[in-house]
Amino acid sequence: MLEGLPGRASVYEVGPRDGLQNEAARLSIDQRLELLAALCDAGLTRLEAGSFVSPKWIPQLADTDELVRRLPARPGVVYSALVPNDQGLERAVASGLREVAVFLSASESHSKKNINKSIAEALATFEALVPKAVGKGLRVRGYVSVVWGCPYEGRVPVERVVEIAEALVRMGVYEVSLGDTIGVGTPRQTEAIVRAVGAKLPPSKVAVHLHDTRGTALANALVALGNGVGTIDASVGGLGGCPYAPGASGNLATEDLVYLLDGMGVESQLSLPKLVAAAELAQRLVGRKLPSKVLQAELGARERASREGA
């Protein structure tokens, strides 16, 4: 499997959206802009900045409109945000965003809890929305949630995941991100899922979005890369979770992923020291110890060095 690793991988940063949607601490727009700037300084060029969802459902990101208006244009950097419906798309367009992400679940129960729609209703919504967004010149990404398992239903049939992924691509999304929303996946399962989807879609159109609830995200990311997936979603400091998926914890930490990629000679064009600096900032802003292993190792090493030097 390790022989099959690609020479490079794309990292898609979801911390400012997936991370912050689940935090008790509500960050100001200025704080979120500071975090996004630190992430861009580390070399990230694909970043999910917020959500145009109902403010009643996700109050933490209610002011994404103003945040997006104030995002500085940076060469090569593309910001995105979640949109669940036409109202979300209109807000995204009015804010000047060039990319959006639609999202739905591979289980009926999670779909209902997360977007108050059945899978068929969600597909019908996006069937109209995605071409509309593409017609307005936007790039559209698509998420499929609970692919590795559902908090309400357990096992999710991979055939349903493949059908949804294919439907999203037919609608016009440029990439489908497969979500292990509650972090239950293990490597053989990841291989089966990625191969099943990869048999129908070009690997360049497939990403994985792994929550690290049980510590398996990095192993799953490696398997996905070895099976041709070109993009891995990750979150600064390992921030993250889905408020409508009980028990979901943070995403695979961006620094942990990049440490692994660097060590294995997979080029990501990201600066690990600058990512650690961004994670340190994220930890300070949310006011709790973040789960990233690389961040905590670095902070621990610094503390030991300062104790020994004192």
The catalytic residues are 242
DSSP the chain: -GGG--SB-EEEE-IIIIIGGG-SS---HHHHHHHHHHHHHTT--EEEEEE-S-TTT-GGGTTHHHHHHTPPP-TT-EEEEE--SHHHHHHHHHHT-SEEEEEEESSHHHHHHHHSS-HHHHHHHHHHHHHHHHHTT-EEEEEEESSS-BTTTB---HHHHHHHHHHHHHHT-SEEEEEETT----HHHHHHHHHHHHTTS-GGGEEEEEB-TTS-HHHHHHHHHHTT--EEEEBGGG----TTSTT--PBPBHHHHHHHHHHTT-B----HHHHHHHHHHHHHHHTS----HHHHHHHHHHHHHHHHH-
Contacted by 21, from ligand HMG, Mg ion, none: CB < 5 to 8 Å by type: ligand HMG
Residue 85 contacts ligand HMG per CB under 6 A: yes
Of 49, 53, 158, 217, which one interacts with ligand HMG (CB under 6 A)? 53
Nearest to ligand HMG of 87, 109 (CB atom): 87
Site for ligand HMG in 178-207 (CB under 6 A): 179, 181
In 10 A of CB 121, how many CB atoms? 14
Contacted by 52, from Mg ion, ligand HMG, none: CB < 5 to 8 Å by type: ligand HMG
Residue 18 contacts Mg ion per CB under 5 A: yes
Rounded CA-CA distance 245/143 in Å is: 15
Q: C-beta of 184: minimal distance to ligand HMG in Å?
A: 12
Site for ligand HMG in 268-307 (CB under 6 A): none
Nearest to Mg ion of 93, 290 (CB atom): 290
Residue 57 contacts ligand HMG per CB under 6 A: yes
Nearest to ligand HMG of 177, 227 (CB atom): 177
Residue 126 contacts ligand HMG per CB under 6 A: no
Contacted by 244, from Mg ion, ligand HMG, none: CB < 5 to 8 Å by type: ligand HMG
Residue 149 contacts ligand HMG per CB under 6 A: no
Q: C-beta of 249: minimal distance to Mg ion in Å?
A: 10
Residue 87 contacts ligand HMG per CB under 6 A: yes
Site for ligand HMG in 16-45 (CB under 6 A): 18, 21
C-alpha of 140 from chain center: 14
Which residues in this chain contact Mg ion in the complex, by CB under 5 A? 18
Which residues in this chain contact ligand HMG in the complex, by CB under 6 A? 18, 21, 51-55, 57-58, 82, 84-85, 87-88, 91, 103, 114-116, 143, 145, 179, 181, 209, 211, 242, 244
